[in-house]
Amino acid sequence: MPTIHERLDMIIPKITDPTFLQNKGLGNEIGFHIFDYNPKYELLVREHITFIKKRINNNNTGIHIREFDLYEVILEILSEKGYLQKNFALEAKKGSEFVINATKKALRLTLNNDMVVQYISDRVQEHDIVFLTGIGKAYPVIRSHSILNNLHGVIDHVPVVMFFPGSYDGLELVLFNEIKDDNYYRAFQLIEN
């Protein structure tokens, strides 16, 4: 079983492989991948993502890593719409659960006009590899299986890698190795455990 350092070191060779960049699996499936890891390595994984982005984006390979930290995306959209300060006030008055539900509705999550999916879709370009990060920070507003399902319909031309603080066995996503998400079977494990 490879260590976290060995697994992280396997990412660049994997994502720069021509078969990965073709964005199709064996059965012509869309190239969605999950890099799952023990949540205790969150800071190490974040640092390595920064390293990967610098290495790939400054290397004139024609490939570009476009990272979307889902938590930061939520904050940017809410701020842009003028909802962020209102959310703080609502949380003080009505509690976190109320604000979480109000935020989901404001972002139109899981609907056809999902603002997070649209935000990502509008910014993805040819030759990008999409990195989805901030999964744990965005929970419980955004669930990992939901974002993958919704992106599946709009991003099919570039590979997508979700960095997931928990476990994924090819079917089941378990956030923080404790919170079972709905099953998701369309993604490949980027690097085997």
pLDDT of the residue at 27: 55
Q: Please state the domain extents for the chain.
A: 4-20+27-70+127-189
Token pair listed for 61: 């390979």
Question: 22 φ, ψ to 5°?
Answer: -70, -15
pLDDT of the residue at 184: 75
Over range 151-162, report the average pLDDT.
Answer: 90
Q: What is the rounded CA–CA span in Å between residue 71 and residue 168?
A: 21
Assign 24 a pLDDT band (cuts: 50, 70, 90): low
Handedness of CA 60, 13, 169, 26 (dihedral sign): positive
CA triple 12-149-55, angle to 5 deg:
15
Strand partners for 32: 160
Encode pLDDT of 37-95 as tens digits: 999 999 999 999 999 999 999 987 889 999 999 999 999 999 999 988 888 888 899 99
Assign 29 a pLDDT band (cuts: 50, 70, 90): low
Encode pLDDT of 111-156 as tens digits: 889 999 999 999 999 899 999 999 999 999 999 988 998 998 888 8
